[in-house]
Chain A
């Protein structure tokens, strides 16, 4: 099969799905839209009990997987979250947990991981600049100082920046990367919440002005900066793709049902070839996105030689085609889809933002060319 789902993984899926359906269905997602924080402490601690934030942390440091690969476990959760466009920075905070587990110091592991895994603190990754450039260290420069490094510049598209306790910031130190985990409440760090196309999640901008940090806050420094960045980019791609596939699956089911229920000219609109063919094309895109999501999960979870390439292929393919598919769904819904009360726009928004997060399709295509040394 494309991905072998173990019994334990199936259980994780079921429990996650059940939690989401009963605690955070689309009505609740809409309530979160008006909430100042965009998410509640209850949501975080309850999902932490399901293990959502421990999956990418090694057991040695208190993490827990349900299969041989925490990445494929996390992809399962991401897909379920996507189905009902869940709030919160699940992907971003898991990436930070992964970075600490694989590249952090003993001190970082013991001081940060327990609260992160318990949902008691929120971490996020600040990587792109304000224009949405995902290149390594974009937007923020680091300079060595007597006591450590000084950061200057601004990061954009940082999820849950407004409520994050810690920020993993990837900066450019004389052409080399440096990653630091810094407390959000540090001197010289300003967080600016932003409004977003995706109203189910929150994004912000983080400005560093002469913000000085000791080198102890760095991870994988000085040798593993690139490796850490590649790793985070790959895992971010896998999880974002899984989330998009979940979202598109749900949207597609919704639109297929609608085409059977809605009648015009004396028959269900789903009996018109124009609608049937549109939906068949959309179904093809969804099936291909599912296949690519499975391929990327396999490759990255299995640490394949081609892991980065397959992750980027999936991110580029799914990003582009989920947007296209969501437009086809919109068209079949017709005017009702343009109303605030109909849920389709939550997906229309989510899929467009997912396509850009952690690298838009063009960025990943260029990454593939570079991997092949073209």
Chain B
């Protein structure tokens, strides 16, 4: 295996000769939510293919599926070396494809499945979206009702998925469906890969409060897929969901092991805002700016600490949940600080004024991470049960066949009794 130092030299040479240095003008600012459109994709796919062909895609993924079979450390080196260059940007699909779905498939799918999908993923030909939450199953994901029914060598899917970020631009979806209604909820779920252009699958964009259409809702109407597209065992989907959540919360992310640099500029967006309004000498504004700057740095240091803990003690969904909870807690605080500094001036702007609109957009987006990908409450449950070792709340649905679980609806009354 190539040594880390040689790999770094080779990667550095290749990168400097083949990639475009990052300049402010070609940096897309991904602020939690971005609006990716299908027209944006072809050049990004081309760039991904170039990196793949040069042998720098899937650096730590197995060679038999088109990866490079090297170590995480090699991957860290590439991330470090390419940090100031333009890399493929598939918006939210970058994370779902390479971090979440790709890693989950590698951990659980059959060799046949992997040799069909992974090389195409690495080449930029398959972008993968998660078909995960449903209109009636979010935090209680295991209570989902999209069903997959066996039909010979195929499965027939019916139901609906939602909050699928980037689905309108994706090629495949990784879909969790109920395959058994006669067992408790966690034991009757199975994962499938579904082509986004499958007959019977309709993908509708959802317009969000910021005017974007990043999320989608999908409607499955007798969508037929081959059993070869199943990921992991029949009815064994919940364990896979767990490992997917670990990846989603950052376990597969390649983080540089060196400590983050110094604190950098003082909250540049907030200072610029205060300067535009001539408020930099107001004591309360100064306090707010410094607070935001400190919180930003504390979040960065927390991420570094969590990465270190995970490297040392292995992946832990509870530990990773601290990072997610920090984001869900501090994003709204930071957005409120901008509005407070800006006062009335942050609430109105002339059409086309990008600086003017920013605090409002940030404010509208500030609760995205408190809800998306597992709400703050779900993170708190994870932390308290998996890090602090506190007991679970009693539940009413754990031990009965899912078809007998009360699911609410018009006229349903709940007694609140735990037994009898």
Contact = CB atoms under 8 A, between A and B. Distances in A.
Interface in A259-293: 259-260, 267-268, 270-273, 275-277, 279-281, 283-284, 287-288, 290-292
Interface stretch (A46-54, A183-191, A306-314): A306-314
Contacts of A317: 294-295, 298
What is the predominant secondary structure among interface residues of chain B facing chain A?
A: helix
Contact of A291 (B262, B302, B383): B302
Given A280-B380, A374-B289, A309 B312 contact: no
Interface stretch (B116-124, B146-154, B387-395): B387-395
A369 B387 contact: no
Contacts of A362: 287
Interface string B326-362: 1001000000000000000000000000000000000
A148 B262 CA distance: 42
Contacts of B298: 288, 291-292, 313, 317
Nearest to B329: A284
Nearest to A372: B266
A279 B384 contact: yes
Contacts of B287: 362, 365-366
Contact of A368 (B294, B387, B392): B294
Contact of B380 (A271, A276, A290): A276
Q: How large is the interface on A (under 10, 10 to 19, 20 to 34, 35 or more residues)?
A: 35 or more
B381 interface: yes
Interface in A304-330: 304-306, 309-310, 313, 316-317
A27 interface: no
Interface in B265-299: 265-266, 271, 280, 283, 286-287, 289-291, 293-295, 297-299
Nearest to A295: B301
Contacts of B291: 316, 365
B322 interface: yes
B36 interface: no
Contact of A374 (B266, B299, B390): B266
A277 B312 CA distance: 26
Nearest to A309: B263
From A1, A284, A290, name the one whose CB has the most chain B CB atoms within 10 angstroms. A284
A271 B391 contact: yes
Given A288-B302, A362-B287, A306 B262 contact: yes
A284 to B, nearest CB: 5
B290 A365 contact: yes
A299 B259 CA distance: 11
A287 B311 CA distance: 16
A72 to B, nearest CB: 13
Nearest to B377: A277
B322 A368 contact: no
A202 interface: no
A267 B326 contact: no
B262 A299 contact: yes
A31 interface: no
B249 to A, nearest CB: 14
B305 A2 contact: yes
A155 interface: no
B379 interface: yes
Contact of B294 (A267, A272, A291, A365): A365
Interface of A: 1-2, 256, 259-260, 267-268, 270-273, 275-277, 279-281, 283-284, 287-288, 290-292, 294-295, 298-299, 304-306, 309-310, 313, 316-317, 362, 365-366, 368-369, 372, 374
Interface of B: 259, 262-263, 265-266, 271, 280, 283, 286-287, 289-291, 293-295, 297-299, 301-302, 304-306, 308, 311-312, 322, 325-326, 329, 377, 379-381, 383-385, 387-394
Given A2-B304, A271-B390, A365-B290, 5 more contacts: A267-B394, A284-B325, A288-B302, A369-B266, A374-B289
Interface pairs A-B: 4 shortest CB-CB: A365-B290, A276-B384, A306-B262, A280-B380
